[in-house]
Chain A
Amino acid sequence: MKTDLASEHERSGVAGDASLAVDVHGLTKRYGELAAVDGIDFSVGQGEIFAFLGPNGAGKSTTIKMLCTLAHPTSGRATVAGFDVSTRAKSVRRHIGLVFQEQTLDDQLTAGENLQFHAVLYGVPHREVEARISRVLELVALSDRRKDLVSTYSGGMARRLEIARGMLHTPKILFLDEPTVGLDPQTRALIWDDIQRLRREEGVTIFLTTHYMDEAEYAERIAIIDHGAIIALDSPDVLKASVGTDTVAIETSDDEAALASLQRAGYTVERTGSGLTAFVADEETAVGPIVAATGVPVRTVRAHRPTLDDVFLHFTGREIRDQRGEAVPMMARARGARRS
């Protein structure tokens, strides 16, 4: 079996497959005429936090299902934890943790019983079960609720318990499908604390899908997926830098004079409809010096750093669907940024 797999890797020309948590080549899933996922390629290194960002229906869930062996690829190849998803489904499943969008706990059992059940399903050796359960509950700060029925849990607690359960059998990769969807911002922050703690302490690779821009920010690398294809893949900073630099927009009592003084001070400045825009490396530290260098009274200051919203808009030409508010100003900002 070992030699089979090795030669398979050689044939496909992939070096060091086993060092990658996820390795995907030309992965495609068709439903009739529709290609839900259309020949995507990417890989995820071990210990990485990797995000699939895209609107609902972009192909995120279909991809995650194929990687978790819950759907068969139409074509292409994917290895997860070194196992081919098509031929070694059970081995893949044993080495991954899964947290679905929808809750999959038995709320008539206690947290401890749910974990016990999971430990047996995933073949955690009997003598290790107790230590593992204590450990994962500790990781998500639910140790004191172990004996409580899940039906008494809040939505956020249930989600944290599911993350703990996903980690119970010491998976190499934890898949999180929209991990914080429907939760309040405070709970979302709490869950991200948990995720980062278990990545740090257990060295697990995190693969998540999200349509929340701010959630994708936690990832080390982001793949932006739209209409079944990956249209951009890099770290959040590089992606943001690719759509433009930070800007500081000011309105003054005398824009002509301000423009002259700012240019003298060495700033790259442009006139815009309502004032001036300076292109800077870091908007936060630039605001003070710019206002000081203007030389005339400043009426308004607006600093902006490209966001993933801008990135998404830049690559898809539209906003992420079901995004809240601020459509027009954001478009304007993105246009401004792209001009630079």
Chain B
Amino acid sequence: MTALPTVGPGTPPRADPAAAPPPVVPDTVISDEIRVVGMVWERELIRYVRTRTRIVSGLIQPVLFLFVLGYGMSGLVGTTGGFNFRQFVYPGVVAMSVVMTAMFSALSIVWDREFGFLREMLVAPVSRVSLVLGKTAGGATVAAVQGTIMLVLAPLVGIRLTPLLVVQMIALELLMAVAMTTFGVFVASRIQKMESFQVVMQMLLMPMLFLSGALFPLNGLPGWLTVITRLNPLTYAVAPFRQAVFAAQDLSPAAQARFPTNVTLFGFTLSIGMELAIVVVFAVVFFVLAFRGLSRTE
């Protein structure tokens, strides 16, 4: 595949010396594909930075949940061993902001389709894997940044941040964001119309968030609801996140019992490693589905 035919001496003369003909290259060049991933990633970041309303609106909803729901429910739930509902819900709310940003970023593919830019990407002589990788990396970066901004709220609700915890949280945010961005790209690749976008956001994202353990513990739910929560990939992303946050606090045994963080599957309590492995599996599956969704020819 190295000696490819080129258009021979019949090529018309070119006026501009800078306009050298493109080099004859094999169909896929790894370094070119890496450049593409980087460029798609960069575009996500440029767009994120440029739309300040998105940054602000991406913060408002989690803040609302943290403080409004946090204070509202605190009265009901009360304080156990010096630990209250706001502290319980904090990691869930951070996860929520990561998930929403990641999904929103991925679903911008629907916008790209509507405004034609998707076509510019899809007709380019590059691998769709690179496009999905770039999109995933971009969405994940943006989401992790958004989640990291949420860390400044920690002291306000009495969550203690240690350097280790900050590193752990950012790492977990990235993993969660990757999984949710690939999921979002997969969903977006199936959405043809803008109108469907809102419906998907409402019908998919909100139930996924509510049934992930982000806002309330998943134990003691009725059986059918428990099944749904265990099918929800977010469940396995939120649990280690909360476990990491709780591990950095001085939680009394009473508080630990009151606010459980473990996920059980078939009566078996999953370790953090298993939960993370499940998230990785989901991410890989969604990535393949996203790639296939975008690979369908027009």
A contact residues vs B (CB 8 Å cutoff): 1-2, 5-6, 16, 18-19, 46-47, 65, 68, 70-72, 81-83, 88, 90-91, 93-95, 98, 100, 102-109, 113, 116-118, 120-126, 128, 131-132, 135, 169-170, 172, 200-203
Find out whether the CB atom of A46 lies under 8 angstroms from the CB atom of B123. Answer: no
Contact (A202, B16) CB under 8 Å given A106-B115, A120-B35, A170-B21: yes
Contact with A along B238-258 (1 / 0, CB 8 A): 000000000000000000000
Q: List 13 A-B contacts (CB under 8 A).
A: A46-B11, A68-B123, A71-B298, A82-B7, A93-B123, A98-B123, A100-B116, A106-B43, A107-B115, A118-B124, A123-B126, A135-B16, A202-B16
* Complex CA distance for A113 and B117, rounded to whole angstroms: 13
Contact A104 B125 (CB under 8 A): no
Task: Give the contacts of B7-49 with A (CB-CB under 8 A).
Answer: 7-8, 10-16, 18-23, 25, 27-29, 32, 35-36, 38-39, 43, 46-47
Q: Which residues of A contact B36 (CB under 8 A)?
A: 120-121
Would you call B22 and A104 a contact (CB within 8 A)?
A: no
Q: Is B27 within 8 A of A118, CB to CB?
A: no
In order of increasing CB-CB distance, the 9 nearest A-B pairs are A203-B12, A104-B116, A121-B124, A19-B10, A120-B39, A93-B125, A104-B120, A131-B18, A90-B27
> What residues of chain B have their CB less than 8 Å away from a CB belonging to chain A?
1, 3-8, 10-16, 18-23, 25, 27-29, 32, 35-36, 38-39, 43, 46-47, 50-51, 112, 115-117, 119-121, 123-126, 297-298
Contact of A47 among B12, B27, B46, B120 (CB under 8 A): B12
Are B1 and A1 in contact, CB atoms less than 8 angstroms apart?
Answer: yes
B117 near A170 (CB under 8 angstroms)? no
Q: Which residues of B contact A93 (CB under 8 A)?
A: 123-125
CA distance A113 to B36 in the complex (A): 14
Determine whether the beta carbon of B16 is less than 8 Å from that of A108: no
CB distance from A28 to the nearest CB of B (A): 18
Contact A91 B4 (CB under 8 A): yes
Do the beta carbons of B15 and A18 come within 8 Å of each other? no
Return chain A residues, CB-CB under 8 Å to B11. 46, 172, 203
A70 and B123 contact, CB distance less than 8 A: yes
Starting from the known contacts A103-B115, A200-B15, 10 additional A-B residue pairs (CB-CB under 8 Å) come to A5-B5, A16-B10, A88-B27, A91-B125, A105-B116, A123-B25, A131-B18, A170-B19, A201-B15, A202-B19
Most A C-beta atoms less than 10 A away, residue of B23, B43, B121: B43
Contact A117 B39, beta carbon cutoff 8 Å: yes
Point out the residues of chain B lying under 8 angstroms from A200, CB to CB.
Answer: 15
- For the complex formed, measure the closest distance between the CB of B7 and the CB atoms of chain A, giving whole angstroms: 5
Residues of B within 8 A of A102 (CB): 116, 119
Residue of A nearest to B13 (CB): A203
With both beta carbons as reference points, the residue of chain B lying nearest to A110 in the complex is identified as: B46
Residue ID in chain B nearest A167 by CB atoms: B19
State whether A123 touches B32 (Cβ < 8 A): yes
A116–B40 Cα gap in the complex (Å)?
11
User: Shortest beta-carbon distance, A165 to chain B, in Å?
Assistant: 8
Given A2-B4, A116-B39, A120-B39, is A70 in contact with B298 using a C-beta cutoff of 8 Å? Answer: yes
C-alpha gap A18/B9 in the complex (Å): 9
> Of A71, A82, A170, A203, which one neighbours B6 at CB under 8 angstroms?
A82
CB pair A203–B15 under 8 Å, yes or no, is yes
In the bound complex, what is the Cα–Cα distance between A18 and B15 (angstroms)? Answer: 21
